[in-house]
Structure 1
Protein backbone atom coordinates (compact mmCIF):
# COMPACT_ATOMS: atom_id res chain seq x y z
CA UNK A 1 0.00 0.00 0.00
CA UNK A 2 1.33 3.44 -0.93
CA UNK A 3 1.80 5.87 1.94
CA UNK A 4 -0.68 8.26 0.27
CA UNK A 5 -3.43 5.65 0.54
CA UNK A 6 -2.64 4.72 4.11
CA UNK A 7 -5.18 6.27 6.52
CA UNK A 8 -2.62 6.11 9.34
CA UNK A 9 -0.36 8.53 7.46
CA UNK A 10 -3.12 11.16 7.36
CA UNK A 11 -4.11 10.46 10.94
CA UNK A 12 -0.52 11.00 12.11
CA UNK A 13 -0.22 14.23 10.13
CA UNK A 14 -3.54 15.42 11.60
CA UNK A 15 -2.42 14.58 15.13
CA UNK A 16 0.86 16.44 14.56
CA UNK A 17 -1.10 19.48 13.41
CA UNK A 18 -3.22 19.23 16.55
CA UNK A 19 -0.08 19.10 18.69
CA UNK A 20 1.32 22.20 16.97
CA UNK A 21 -1.99 24.00 17.49
CA UNK A 22 -2.09 23.01 21.16
CA UNK A 23 1.46 24.25 21.70
CA UNK A 24 0.68 27.47 19.84
CA UNK A 25 -2.41 28.09 21.99
CA UNK A 26 -0.30 27.59 25.08
CA UNK A 27 1.89 30.56 24.17
CA UNK A 28 0.99 34.14 25.04
CA UNK A 29 0.57 36.74 22.34
CA UNK A 30 3.92 38.25 23.27
CA UNK A 31 5.66 34.89 22.79
CA UNK A 32 4.08 34.50 19.35
CA UNK A 33 4.41 38.08 18.16
CA UNK A 34 6.36 38.54 14.95
CA UNK A 35 6.33 42.35 15.06
CA UNK A 36 10.10 42.58 15.63
CA UNK A 37 10.82 40.26 12.71
CA UNK A 38 8.41 42.18 10.47
CA UNK A 39 10.08 45.47 11.40
CA UNK A 40 13.39 44.02 10.20
CA UNK A 41 12.09 42.26 7.10
CA UNK A 42 9.67 44.97 5.94
CA UNK A 43 11.87 48.04 6.49
CA UNK A 44 10.47 50.94 4.57
CA UNK A 45 6.94 49.56 4.98
CA UNK A 46 6.44 48.28 1.43
CA UNK A 47 2.92 48.49 -0.04
CA UNK A 48 1.84 50.78 2.79
CA UNK A 49 0.33 53.29 0.34
CA UNK A 50 -1.70 50.51 -1.33
CA UNK A 51 -2.88 49.11 2.02
CA UNK A 52 -3.86 52.47 3.58
CA UNK A 53 -7.43 52.19 2.26
CA UNK A 54 -7.98 48.66 3.59
CA UNK A 55 -10.27 48.93 6.59
CA UNK A 56 -12.77 46.45 8.05
CA UNK A 57 -14.15 45.18 11.34
CA UNK A 58 -13.08 41.86 12.86
CA UNK A 59 -14.47 40.71 16.19
CA UNK A 60 -15.72 44.21 16.98
CA UNK A 61 -12.38 45.94 16.34
CA UNK A 62 -11.24 47.94 13.37
CA UNK A 63 -8.47 46.38 11.33
CA UNK A 64 -6.55 49.04 9.45
CA UNK A 65 -3.10 50.58 9.35
CA UNK A 66 -4.52 53.66 11.04
CA UNK A 67 -5.96 51.62 13.94
CA UNK A 68 -3.23 49.01 14.38
CA UNK A 69 -0.10 50.42 12.80
CA UNK A 70 1.59 48.96 9.75
CA UNK A 71 3.39 45.99 11.34
CA UNK A 72 0.46 44.90 13.51
CA UNK A 73 -1.78 45.16 10.45
CA UNK A 74 0.52 42.88 8.43
CA UNK A 75 0.86 40.50 11.38
CA UNK A 76 -2.94 40.30 11.65
CA UNK A 77 -3.10 38.84 8.13
CA UNK A 78 -0.24 36.44 8.80
CA UNK A 79 -1.94 35.19 11.97
CA UNK A 80 -5.31 34.74 10.25
CA UNK A 81 -3.66 32.98 7.30
CA UNK A 82 -1.99 30.65 9.80
CA UNK A 83 -5.40 29.91 11.34
CA UNK A 84 -6.89 29.14 7.95
CA UNK A 85 -3.99 27.04 6.69
CA UNK A 86 -3.50 24.90 9.80
CA UNK A 87 -7.17 24.00 9.88
CA UNK A 88 -7.09 23.48 6.11
CA UNK A 89 -4.41 20.88 6.74
CA UNK A 90 -6.28 19.41 9.71
CA UNK A 91 -9.61 19.13 7.85
CA UNK A 92 -7.98 17.68 4.75
CA UNK A 93 -5.93 15.08 6.60
CA UNK A 94 -8.88 14.00 8.73
CA UNK A 95 -11.10 13.71 5.67
CA UNK A 96 -8.54 11.61 3.80
CA UNK A 97 -7.86 9.41 6.83
CA UNK A 98 -11.57 8.73 7.22
CA UNK A 99 -12.15 8.29 3.49
CA UNK A 100 -9.49 5.59 3.15
CA UNK A 101 -11.02 3.86 6.19
CA UNK A 102 -14.77 4.32 5.54
CA UNK A 103 -14.74 4.41 1.71
CA UNK A 104 -17.56 6.97 1.83
CA UNK A 105 -16.58 10.55 1.01
CA UNK A 106 -19.73 12.15 2.42
CA UNK A 107 -19.52 10.59 5.87
CA UNK A 108 -15.78 11.22 5.88
CA UNK A 109 -16.34 14.88 5.04
CA UNK A 110 -19.07 15.25 7.66
CA UNK A 111 -17.02 13.76 10.50
CA UNK A 112 -13.81 15.53 9.44
CA UNK A 113 -15.58 18.90 9.50
CA UNK A 114 -17.14 18.15 12.89
CA UNK A 115 -13.76 17.11 14.29
CA UNK A 116 -11.88 20.12 12.91
CA UNK A 117 -14.53 22.65 13.94
CA UNK A 118 -14.82 21.01 17.36
CA UNK A 119 -11.07 21.20 17.83
CA UNK A 120 -11.14 24.85 16.76
CA UNK A 121 -13.67 25.56 19.51
CA UNK A 122 -11.60 23.70 22.08
CA UNK A 123 -8.49 25.52 20.88
CA UNK A 124 -10.14 28.90 21.48
CA UNK A 125 -11.26 27.70 24.92
CA UNK A 126 -7.64 26.72 25.63
CA UNK A 127 -6.57 30.22 24.60
CA UNK A 128 -9.06 31.64 27.11
CA UNK A 129 -7.13 29.82 29.84
CA UNK A 130 -3.81 31.20 28.60
CA UNK A 131 -2.82 34.64 29.79
CA UNK A 132 -2.57 37.38 27.22
CA UNK A 133 -4.75 35.61 24.64
CA UNK A 134 -8.19 36.51 23.36
CA UNK A 135 -10.51 33.68 22.35
CA UNK A 136 -12.66 34.70 19.40
CA UNK A 137 -15.70 33.03 17.88
CA UNK A 138 -14.64 34.60 14.58
CA UNK A 139 -11.41 32.58 14.73
CA UNK A 140 -13.43 29.38 15.14
CA UNK A 141 -15.39 30.33 12.03
CA UNK A 142 -12.17 31.09 10.13
CA UNK A 143 -10.70 27.76 11.25
CA UNK A 144 -13.85 25.90 10.19
CA UNK A 145 -13.74 27.68 6.82
CA UNK A 146 -10.16 26.47 6.33
CA UNK A 147 -11.15 22.91 7.18
CA UNK A 148 -14.23 23.08 4.95
CA UNK A 149 -12.17 24.38 2.02
CA UNK A 150 -9.79 21.41 2.26
CA UNK A 151 -12.66 18.97 2.67
CA UNK A 152 -14.41 20.35 -0.41
CA UNK A 153 -11.15 20.02 -2.32
CA UNK A 154 -10.86 16.38 -1.22
CA UNK A 155 -14.46 15.77 -2.36
CA UNK A 156 -13.76 17.32 -5.77
CA UNK A 157 -10.52 15.40 -6.30
CA UNK A 158 -11.96 12.05 -5.20
CA UNK A 159 -15.04 12.63 -7.37
CA UNK A 160 -12.86 13.38 -10.41
CA UNK A 161 -10.75 10.28 -9.75
CA UNK A 162 -13.87 8.16 -9.37
CA UNK A 163 -15.35 9.52 -12.61
CA UNK A 164 -12.16 8.69 -14.52
CA UNK A 165 -12.33 5.04 -13.53
Structure 2
Protein backbone atom coordinates (compact mmCIF):
# COMPACT_ATOMS: atom_id res chain seq x y z
CA UNK A 1 0.00 0.00 0.00
CA UNK A 2 1.31 3.45 -0.89
CA UNK A 3 0.20 6.68 0.73
CA UNK A 4 -0.10 9.68 -1.55
CA UNK A 5 -0.05 13.15 -0.15
CA UNK A 6 -2.69 15.17 -1.95
CA UNK A 7 -0.80 18.44 -2.54
CA UNK A 8 2.44 17.33 -4.19
CA UNK A 9 2.00 13.60 -4.91
CA UNK A 10 4.86 12.53 -2.62
CA UNK A 11 4.65 8.79 -2.05
CA UNK A 12 5.53 6.93 1.12
CA UNK A 13 6.88 3.41 1.49
CA UNK A 14 4.16 1.14 2.87
CA UNK A 15 6.66 -0.77 5.03
CA UNK A 16 7.05 2.30 7.22
CA UNK A 17 4.37 4.07 9.18
CA UNK A 18 2.84 6.70 6.93
CA UNK A 19 2.53 10.32 8.05
CA UNK A 20 -1.22 9.67 8.33
CA UNK A 21 -0.53 6.71 10.60
CA UNK A 22 1.94 8.68 12.69
CA UNK A 23 -0.52 11.53 13.21
CA UNK A 24 -3.33 9.06 13.87
CA UNK A 25 -1.26 7.45 16.63
CA UNK A 26 -0.44 10.92 17.97
CA UNK A 27 -4.07 12.09 18.01
CA UNK A 28 -5.27 8.85 19.59
CA UNK A 29 -2.58 9.14 22.27
CA UNK A 30 -3.60 12.76 22.86
CA UNK A 31 -7.26 11.69 23.21
CA UNK A 32 -6.24 9.15 25.86
CA UNK A 33 -4.13 11.74 27.68
CA UNK A 34 -7.04 14.20 27.60
CA UNK A 35 -9.37 11.55 29.05
CA UNK A 36 -6.84 10.78 31.79
CA UNK A 37 -6.61 14.49 32.62
CA UNK A 38 -10.40 14.66 32.58
CA UNK A 39 -10.78 12.05 35.33
CA UNK A 40 -7.90 13.43 37.37
CA UNK A 41 -9.12 14.68 40.71
CA UNK A 42 -5.77 15.98 41.85
CA UNK A 43 -5.70 19.69 42.40
CA UNK A 44 -2.70 21.89 41.91
CA UNK A 45 -3.46 23.99 44.98
CA UNK A 46 -1.37 21.83 47.37
CA UNK A 47 1.60 21.88 45.00
CA UNK A 48 1.33 25.64 44.56
CA UNK A 49 1.11 26.15 48.33
CA UNK A 50 4.22 24.01 48.84
CA UNK A 51 6.33 25.73 46.19
CA UNK A 52 5.19 29.37 46.29
CA UNK A 53 4.58 31.87 49.00
CA UNK A 54 1.85 34.28 48.15
CA UNK A 55 -0.65 36.55 49.82
CA UNK A 56 -3.79 38.41 48.72
CA UNK A 57 -1.64 41.33 47.49
CA UNK A 58 0.45 39.16 45.13
CA UNK A 59 -2.11 39.32 42.33
CA UNK A 60 -4.20 42.14 40.89
CA UNK A 61 -7.44 42.77 42.70
CA UNK A 62 -9.92 40.52 40.88
CA UNK A 63 -13.24 39.07 41.95
CA UNK A 64 -15.65 37.12 39.77
CA UNK A 65 -17.68 33.95 39.86
CA UNK A 66 -17.34 31.21 37.30
CA UNK A 67 -20.09 28.60 37.39
CA UNK A 68 -20.73 29.49 41.03
CA UNK A 69 -17.06 29.34 41.99
CA UNK A 70 -15.54 32.51 43.44
CA UNK A 71 -12.26 33.47 41.79
CA UNK A 72 -10.68 36.18 43.90
CA UNK A 73 -7.28 37.58 44.71
CA UNK A 74 -8.33 37.14 48.35
CA UNK A 75 -7.79 33.39 47.74
CA UNK A 76 -4.59 33.45 45.70
CA UNK A 77 -3.92 29.70 45.67
CA UNK A 78 -7.44 28.89 44.49
CA UNK A 79 -7.26 31.62 41.85
CA UNK A 80 -3.89 30.44 40.58
CA UNK A 81 -5.18 26.88 40.34
CA UNK A 82 -8.20 28.17 38.38
CA UNK A 83 -5.97 29.94 35.85
CA UNK A 84 -3.65 26.92 35.53
CA UNK A 85 -6.59 24.61 34.84
CA UNK A 86 -8.19 26.95 32.28
CA UNK A 87 -4.84 27.46 30.54
CA UNK A 88 -4.67 23.66 30.38
CA UNK A 89 -8.04 23.63 28.61
CA UNK A 90 -6.79 26.07 25.98
CA UNK A 91 -3.55 24.17 25.38
CA UNK A 92 -5.27 20.77 25.38
CA UNK A 93 -7.72 21.70 22.64
CA UNK A 94 -5.21 23.74 20.66
CA UNK A 95 -2.93 20.69 20.39
CA UNK A 96 -5.83 18.29 19.77
CA UNK A 97 -7.22 20.43 16.95
CA UNK A 98 -3.81 20.97 15.35
CA UNK A 99 -2.95 17.25 15.36
CA UNK A 100 -6.41 16.34 14.07
CA UNK A 101 -5.96 18.81 11.21
CA UNK A 102 -2.58 17.25 10.44
CA UNK A 103 -4.32 13.86 10.04
CA UNK A 104 -6.88 15.44 7.76
CA UNK A 105 -4.07 16.98 5.68
CA UNK A 106 -3.45 13.49 4.29
CA UNK A 107 -7.09 12.98 3.35
CA UNK A 108 -8.76 13.94 0.11
CA UNK A 109 -10.74 16.69 1.82
CA UNK A 110 -10.27 20.24 0.63
CA UNK A 111 -9.02 22.87 3.07
CA UNK A 112 -12.49 24.16 3.97
CA UNK A 113 -13.79 20.67 4.77
CA UNK A 114 -10.66 19.90 6.81
CA UNK A 115 -11.36 23.01 8.90
CA UNK A 116 -15.00 22.00 9.40
CA UNK A 117 -14.18 18.40 10.32
CA UNK A 118 -11.32 19.51 12.60
CA UNK A 119 -13.50 22.08 14.34
CA UNK A 120 -16.51 19.80 14.76
CA UNK A 121 -14.40 16.84 15.87
CA UNK A 122 -12.58 18.85 18.52
CA UNK A 123 -15.74 20.59 19.66
CA UNK A 124 -17.62 17.30 20.03
CA UNK A 125 -14.73 15.82 21.98
CA UNK A 126 -14.74 18.89 24.28
CA UNK A 127 -18.48 18.58 24.81
CA UNK A 128 -18.39 14.83 25.52
CA UNK A 129 -15.37 15.34 27.80
CA UNK A 130 -17.30 17.82 29.95
CA UNK A 131 -20.27 15.46 29.99
CA UNK A 132 -17.94 12.64 31.05
CA UNK A 133 -16.70 14.78 33.94
CA UNK A 134 -20.21 14.94 35.38
CA UNK A 135 -19.81 11.23 36.21
CA UNK A 136 -16.32 11.62 37.69
CA UNK A 137 -16.07 11.82 41.45
CA UNK A 138 -14.93 15.24 42.73
CA UNK A 139 -15.10 16.74 39.24
CA UNK A 140 -17.91 18.75 37.74
CA UNK A 141 -18.54 19.16 34.07
CA UNK A 142 -18.79 22.86 33.30
CA UNK A 143 -20.23 23.16 29.80
CA UNK A 144 -19.27 26.83 29.79
CA UNK A 145 -15.66 25.55 29.46
CA UNK A 146 -16.56 24.18 26.02
CA UNK A 147 -17.85 27.55 24.83
CA UNK A 148 -14.99 29.55 26.32
CA UNK A 149 -11.60 28.01 27.01
CA UNK A 150 -11.94 24.90 24.83
CA UNK A 151 -13.26 26.98 21.94
CA UNK A 152 -10.33 29.40 22.28
CA UNK A 153 -7.97 26.42 22.07
CA UNK A 154 -9.76 25.04 19.02
CA UNK A 155 -9.56 28.40 17.24
CA UNK A 156 -5.86 28.74 18.12
CA UNK A 157 -5.18 25.22 16.79
CA UNK A 158 -6.90 26.07 13.51
CA UNK A 159 -5.06 29.40 13.29
CA UNK A 160 -1.65 27.80 13.85
CA UNK A 161 -2.45 25.14 11.26
CA UNK A 162 -3.49 27.75 8.70
CA UNK A 163 -0.37 29.84 9.37
CA UNK A 164 1.87 26.82 8.85
CA UNK A 165 0.00 25.90 5.67
CA UNK A 166 0.38 29.44 4.30
CA UNK A 167 4.13 29.43 5.02
CA UNK A 168 4.52 26.02 3.33
CA UNK A 169 2.84 27.32 0.16
CA UNK A 170 5.21 30.22 -0.25
CA UNK A 171 7.99 29.66 -2.81
TM range (shorter): 0.7 to 0.9
- Please identify the structure whose Cα radius of gyration is greater: 2
Q: Which has the higher contact order (CA 8 A, sep 6+)?
A: 1
1:33-73 deviations in Å (ceiling 9; x for gaps): 11111011112x17x5352412334234432122xx11111
Partner of 1:90: 96
Structure 1 stretch 76-85 or stretch 144-153: which is displaced more? 144-153
Asked whether the 8 Å contact 1:87–1:116 carries over to 2, the reply is yes
Partner of 2:5: none
Distance 1:154 1:104 in 2: 14
Question: Which structure dedicates a bigger proportion of its chain to helix?
Answer: 1
**C-alpha root-mean-square deviation of aligned residues, in Å?**
2.2
Asked whether the 8 Å contact 1:56–1:63 carries over to 2, the reply is yes
Of the three residues 46, 49, 58, the one matched with 1:39 is 49
Partner of 1:22: 35
Asked whether the 8 Å contact 2:63–2:72 carries over to 1, the reply is yes
Task: Give how far 1:103 is off.
Answer: 5.5
Of the three residues 60, 63, 68, the one matched with 1:55 is 63
Q: Which sections of structure 1, spanning at least 5 residues, go unmatched?
A: none
Look up the SS of the partner of 2:137 in the other structure.
coil
Look up the SS of the partner of 2:71 in the other structure.
strand
Q: What TM-score, normalized to structure 1?
A: 0.84
Q: 1:145 to 1:102 in 2, by over 3 A?
A: farther
Alignment of 1:141-156 (within 5 A): 141=147, 142-156=149-163
Q: Which sections of structure 2, spanning at least 5 residues, go unmatched?
A: 1-11
Distance 1:12 1:89 in 2: 14
Distance 1:100 1:90 in 2: 16
Q: What TM-score, normalized to structure 2?
A: 0.81
Asked whether the 8 Å contact 2:98–2:158 carries over to 1, the reply is yes
Look up the SS of the partner of 1:101 in the other structure.
coil
